Amino acid sequence: MRIAILADHPPFTGIGNYSFKLFKHLRSTSSEEVDLHYLSWSTRDWKPLEEQGVKIITASKHLPVRSPSFYRSQFRTPVPRGYDVYHATHPLLCNVSPSPAKSVVTVEDLLPMVIPRNYPIIFGLQFRSQIQSIRRMKRIIVISQSTRLDVERLLGIPSGSVDTIPFGVDEDFTPGPSVRDELGIHPDAKVLLHVGSEEKRKNIPFLFEVFARLKNRLRDVVLIRVGSSRLENRRLLKSMSLEKDVVYTGWQTSREVLRAYYRSSDLLLFPSTHEGFGFPPLEAMACGCPVIVSATTSLPEIAGKGGIQLPLNAELWAQEAYKLLSDDRRRAEMSQACIRQSRDFSWPVVAQQTLRIYREIA
């Protein structure tokens, strides 16, 4: 069987990581012929490393470095025919497949339809138009039960056409020693961690409110934000007199440093209102960092029996965080529970389950 994986996101993004991990594990664990066709928007765009089975298709020599997948998909990019299965790794690549009857698509989320107010109007209209193309696909993969319900409810897709295969956690996210000295963190501080963007759905003002309430109970607690900052949130911190207690690392944090933050923090808070999956809580749990997540969308599926799931009530979050930070034994027990929970998310299993779907439609 010949398999073509269609991708246009680099591996340092969530979708790109999925594309390349699936490609890697399919090639290493199966006897099938697997190629990854990477759609590069321009000659100045990011290019994957030279690797056997990776085919680079460039749309233009002159257009901008990056552009939304919607515009990329308007080009009838010449993906070769002759494969038994084509796999579009996100919905806006459906039009790239030359054979929908032999195609699989992965739907990460339908957030532009679920929370349209969080997206520009033109993008929402484009997304609604393009997402309909998944109906042409032979099978649909979703990455959480939450996304599955959205696909069935919002698009009217029959449940028999949808398979749930959660993402895996990368093998290098494992427990390890704390390296607070190297990160410039005081050894006696209580460290809260948040990883991600500051999109509205990430609920950063709520995070700051929880931190402020916790700060009234624990004076030596600090909050580390791995990610960039928005002006309105910096102003909010200043108005709350917390700007000296919140450390921003920026987005240039390497994977090695990110692992170090997970291993050196006492607790990760992730109060997002909507997630198709949620890599940061999973990565934190795999590294042994306890997590508190909002009891919304896919996050309870990620946290499972390892992390704490709470409704979005700031006082309740502050109380639970205080209990954990004040009880070393309980935090250690929760760390082990998080590690066990994270083992349910495996890239080899993702590849095995996806290959089963390929074989059913080939």
Instruction: Report yes or no on 217 lying in a domain.
Output: yes
CA separation, residue 336 to residues 124, 305, 323 (Å): 41, 11, 17
Amino acid at 151: V
User: CA–CA separation, 277 vs 275, rounded Å?
Assistant: 5
What residues have CB less than 8 Å from 181, skipping those under 6 apart?
Answer: 187
The total domain count for the chain is 2
pLDDT of 60: 63
Distance CA 181, CA 186 (A): 7
Q: Please check whether residues 164 and 133 belong to one and the same domain.
A: yes
Question: Smallest Cα–Cα separation from 335: which of 316, 310, 307?
Answer: 307
Assess whether 323 and 356 both reside in one domain. Answer: no
pLDDT in tens, 260-292: 999 999 999 999 999 999 999 999 999 999 999
Whichever domain contains 216, its CATH number is 3.40.50.2000
With beta carbons less than 8 A apart as the criterion, state whether 103 and 137 touch: yes
Three-class DSSP category at 15? helix
What pLDDT was estimated at residue 53? 84
Whether residues 107 and 203 fall in one domain: no
110 and 230: one domain?
no
Clarify whether residues 146 and 189 are in a common domain: no
- 173 part of a folded domain: no
Question: 51 and 122 share a domain?
Answer: yes
Q: Are residue 90 and residue 73 in the same domain, yes or no?
A: yes
Question: What Cα–Cα distance (Å) separates residue 14 from each residue in 87, 185, 208, 280, 308?
Answer: 17, 28, 25, 10, 23
**In this predicted structure, what is the pLDDT of residue 250?**
82
Residue 334 lies inside a defined structural domain of this protein = yes
User: Which residue(s) pair with 57 in the sheet?
Assistant: 39
Q: Is residue 77 in a domain?
A: yes
Calculate ∠ Cα 139-140-144, nearest 5°.
Answer: 145
Classify residue 175: in a domain, yes or no: no
Cα angle at 95 between 61 and 66, to 5 degrees? 35
Cβ pair 160, 241 in contact under 8 A: no
Q: Which domain holds residue 17?
A: 2-168+346-361
> Taking CA 212 as the corner, what is the angle to CA 200 and CA 256, rounded to the nearest 5 degrees?
65
- Domain-located, residue 57: yes
Are 127 and 249 found together in one domain?
A: no
**163 and 138, same domain (yes or no):** yes
Tell me, yes or no, whether 174 lies in a domain.
no
pLDDT at residue 126, rounded to an integer:
83
pLDDT by position in tens, the chain (length 362): 999 999 988 888 889 999 999 999 999 999 999 999 988 776 666 777 767 788 887 766 555 545 545 555 555 567 889 999 999 999 988 888 889 999 999 999 999 999 999 988 888 888 888 898 999 999 999 999 999 999 999 999 988 889 999 999 999 999 999 999 999 999 999 999 999 999 999 999 999 999 999 999 998 999 999 998 999 999 999 999 999 999 999 877 788 999 999 999 999 999 999 999 999 999 999 999 999 999 999 999 999 999 999 999 999 999 999 999 999 999 999 999 999 999 999 999 999 999 999 999 98
Looking at the structure, tell me whether residues 337 and 352 fall in a common domain.
no
Q: Do 148 and 18 belong together in one domain?
A: yes
Burial of 101 (0-12, 13-18, 19+ CB in 10 A): exposed
pLDDT for the residue numbered 65: 47
* Beta carbons of 298 and 150 less than 8 angstroms apart: no
Q: Are strands 33-42 and 54-60 parallel, antiparallel or unpaired?
A: parallel
Are residues 161 and 211 part of one domain? Answer: no
